[in-house]
Structure 1
């Protein structure tokens, strides 16, 4: 699998570390134990495009949001995680 780093270009997946689903939001500290259990353990397993966090430790050392098709592992795109956060904050 090859990941298109927006800073370094297309690279082998071995240069990256996978963190997980980029669509899940950590609950507030006062949300209660059930909210935290849902966050930590009860996850969907969608078939299709999924935004995921990946760290490019073998290159620019940036966090990326990679969109990957979970059915065939095809990479659909990648953006810098900080840039994505800034774009979402403007909405």
Structure 2
């Protein structure tokens, strides 16, 4: 099992997080075609080596994270806040 070093909570087991997908995929606009939406939702590059992924700490602080990971070795290279705004870190509406 992976251990992810959340910048807000510290090292936590992978089970506390949810991987959303590739961090390089751009979200289509509201008026995007069905083909563009299908490509965004279902097609990924699945490249071997270093990739950037979006994760959310769902059983922790609730922060969205960008995780750089090597898919060949499963080593986590870096973890940063997805929206790196120091004024909003750790501040959720439901707290």
TM-score by length of 2: 0.77
Matched residue, 2:21: 20
Whether the aligned pair in 1 keeps the contact of 2:22 and 2:44 (CA below 8 Å) is: no
TM-aligned CA distance change 1:42 to 1:17, over 3 Å: closer
Aligned to 2:66, what secondary structure does the other structure show? strand
Whether the aligned pair in 1 keeps the contact of 2:7 and 2:81 (CA below 8 Å) is: yes
CA RMSD in angstroms comes to 1.6
TM-score by length of 1: 0.80
Matched residue, 1:71: 72
Q: Quick check: which one's helix share is greater?
A: 1
The CA distance in 2 between the partners of 1:4 and 1:31, in whole Å, is 36
- Provide Cα deviations, 1:19-54, integer angstroms capped at 9, x if missing partner: 111110122233322222222222211111111111
Matched residue, 1:31: 32
